[in-house]
């Protein structure tokens, strides 16, 4: 598995942590859903995380030689009660699946039903298809909300008056889109004129994809989902493709989080201008934290695997001296607080 894929164009697991996760799994259920977003006309997988009731089979979701995965109870009954709903998108165009597991599990522990979208995988030869993905992924989030609303085993537990979208990286811009933000086609055409446009620009160039000649209208259309009452976006990608007019239309309380102090956040993830341009936005920085900390926990062998493949070990390293699980707990608390604030301020 290449770190380039995991970056989306983009920590060792201690015994104590493993025990803590195992205990947490007693309260977390997980099951699979399949959705067919109208714009795709093809199935997309969704992992549903929720407060667990009885039963279920212990599983470590997303476990691989590189990633430790997250413990949960597969197909457990849903706990009694009614819970807010969060649709989550994590990663960029070539992100590995289940990167949202850590935040989905932590929100489920806090009493949320979480629908985590797993977009179709893109091969290194799929650059042209990757451009189209930018316009498709907001629809995936909306389709996930529809699936929760229409599932007879889930709907009685879902508070559809409290629906949120949370996203990381390209998932962050997808979440902003369902909140009402609209991409500027002209800005998108020039996104890769500067190397700071992001790591996908090199991928596009190698594949002969010129953004200046792309039909950006499907990407820039209105993706607003009126059911979404608040949005949280962490290190949103392609932020330079959004202008003042497109951001001013954001209709719901929005929190934008950048990982790293000013100058620590990579240029292609810098979102301060977005925070300043959205009237309903709250912009927050988390100093001393790198964007790799938003990925899942690596296994003890993770660094060696990356070395063996000739890939940088940064994916399994955290800056600032904090363990990745500590950063995850900090971010989960920030996101949960942002959701509560957003729900409480929505008319």
Rounded to 10 deg, the angle between the 170-178 and 127-150 helix axes is 50
Return the C-alpha torsion angle 281, 284, 289, 291, nearest 10.
10
Q: What is the pLDDT of residue 346?
A: 57
Look at residue 333 and tell me if it is in a domain: yes
Look at residue 347 and tell me if it is in a domain: no
Question: Do the beta carbons of residue 145 and residue 227 sit within 8 Å?
Answer: yes
Look at residue 77 and tell me if it is in a domain: yes
CATH number at 172 reads 3.40.50.1820
State the Cα–Cα distance between residues 324 and 11, nearest whole angstrom: 6
Look at residue 14 and tell me if it is in a domain: yes
Look at residue 215 and tell me if it is in a domain: yes
Torsion-angle region of 261 (φ positive above 0: left; ψ -120 to 50: alpha; else: beta): beta
Question: Do the beta carbons of residue 259 and residue 265 sit within 8 Å?
Answer: yes
Q: What does 293-337 look like in DSSP terms, one character per residue?
A: GGSPPBPTTHHHHHHHTT--GGGG--GGG--HHHHHHHHHHHHHH
Neighbour-count burial of 264, counting CB atoms closer than 10 A to its CB (0-12 exposed, 13-18 middle, 19+ buried): middle
- CA torsion through residues 267, 286, 104, 325, sign: positive
Its pTM stands at 0.91
- Lookup: tokens for 50: 């929720």
Q: What is the pLDDT of residue 281?
A: 95
Number of domains, the chain: 1
Look at residue 242 and tell me if it is in a domain: yes
Question: What does the pLDDT profile of the chain (347 residues) look like in tens digits?
Answer: 333 333 333 332 232 333 333 344 569 999 999 899 999 888 999 999 999 999 999 999 999 999 999 999 999 999 999 999 999 999 888 788 899 999 999 999 999 999 999 988 888 888 988 999 999 999 999 999 999 999 999 999 999 999 999 999 999 999 999 999 999 999 999 999 987 788 899 999 999 999 999 999 999 999 999 999 999 999 999 999 999 999 998 999 999 999 999 999 999 999 999 999 999 999 999 999 999 999 999 999 999 999 998 888 888 987 766 789 999 999 999 999 999 999 998 55
State the Cα–Cα distance between residues 119 and 130, nearest whole angstrom: 11
Task: Give Cβ neighbours of residue 226 (< 8 Å, ≥ 6 apart).
Answer: none
Question: Do the beta carbons of residue 291 and residue 235 sit within 8 Å?
Answer: yes
Q: What is the pLDDT of residue 25?
A: 52
Give which of 151, 143, 145, 146 is closest to 78, Cα–Cα.
Answer: 151
Q: What is the pLDDT of residue 322?
A: 78
Q: Kindly provide the b/e burial profile for residues 59-91, where b requires at least 16 CB atoms within 10 angstroms of the residue's own CB.
A: bbbbbbebbbbbbbbeebebbeeebbbbbbbbb
Q: What is the pLDDT of residue 198?
A: 87
Look at residue 56 and tell me if it is in a domain: yes
Q: What is the pLDDT of residue 23?
A: 40
Domain ranges, residue 64? 3-342
Within 13 A of 256's CA, how many CA atoms are on the CB side?
30
Look at residue 34 and tell me if it is in a domain: yes
Q: What is the pLDDT of residue 278?
A: 95
State the Cα–Cα distance between residues 106 and 304, nearest whole angstrom: 28
């Amino acid at each position: 598995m290449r770190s380039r894929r995991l970056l989306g164009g983009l920590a060792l697991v201690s015994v104590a942590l493993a025990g803590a996760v195992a205990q947490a799994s007693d309260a977390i259920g997980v099951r699979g859903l399949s959705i067919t977003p109208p714009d795709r006309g093809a199935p997309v997988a969704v992992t549903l995380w929720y407060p667990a009731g009885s039963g279920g089979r212990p599983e470590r979701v997303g476990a691989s030689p590189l990633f430790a995965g997250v413990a949960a109870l597969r197909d457990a009954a849903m706990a009694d009660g009614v819970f807010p709903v969060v649709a989550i998108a994590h990663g960029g165009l070539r992100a590995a699946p289940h990167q949202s597991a850590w935040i989905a599990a932590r929100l489920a522990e806090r009493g949320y039903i979480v629908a985590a979208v797993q977009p179709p995988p893109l091969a290194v030869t799929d650059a042209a298809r990757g451009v189209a993905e930018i316009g498709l992924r907001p629809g995936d989030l909306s389709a996930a909300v529809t699936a929760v609303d229409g599932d007879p085993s889930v709907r009685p537990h879902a508070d559809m008056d409290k629906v949120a979208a949370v996203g990381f990286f390209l998932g962050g811009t997808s979440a902003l889109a369902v909140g009402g933000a609209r991409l500027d086609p002209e800005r998108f055409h020039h996104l890769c004129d500067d190397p700071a446009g992001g790591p996908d620009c090199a991928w596009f160039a190698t594949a002969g994809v010129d953004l200046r000649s792309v039909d950006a209208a499907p990407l820039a259309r209105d993706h607003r989902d009126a059911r979404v009452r608040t949005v949280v976006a962490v290190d949103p990608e392609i932020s330079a493709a959004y202008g003042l007019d497109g951001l001013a239309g954001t209709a719901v309380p929005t929190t934008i989080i950048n990982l790293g102090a000013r100058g620590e956040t990579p240029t292609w993830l810098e979102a301060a201008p977005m925070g300043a341009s959205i009237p309903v936005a709250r912009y927050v920085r988390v100093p001393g934290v790198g964007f790799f900390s938003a990925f899942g926990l690596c296994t003890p062998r993770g660094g060696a695997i990356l070395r063996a493949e000739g890939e940088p070990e940064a994916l399994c390293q955290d800056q600032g001296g904090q363990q990745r699980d500590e950063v995850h707990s900090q971010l989960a608390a920030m996101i949960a607080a942002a959701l509560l604030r957003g729900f409480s301020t929505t008319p």
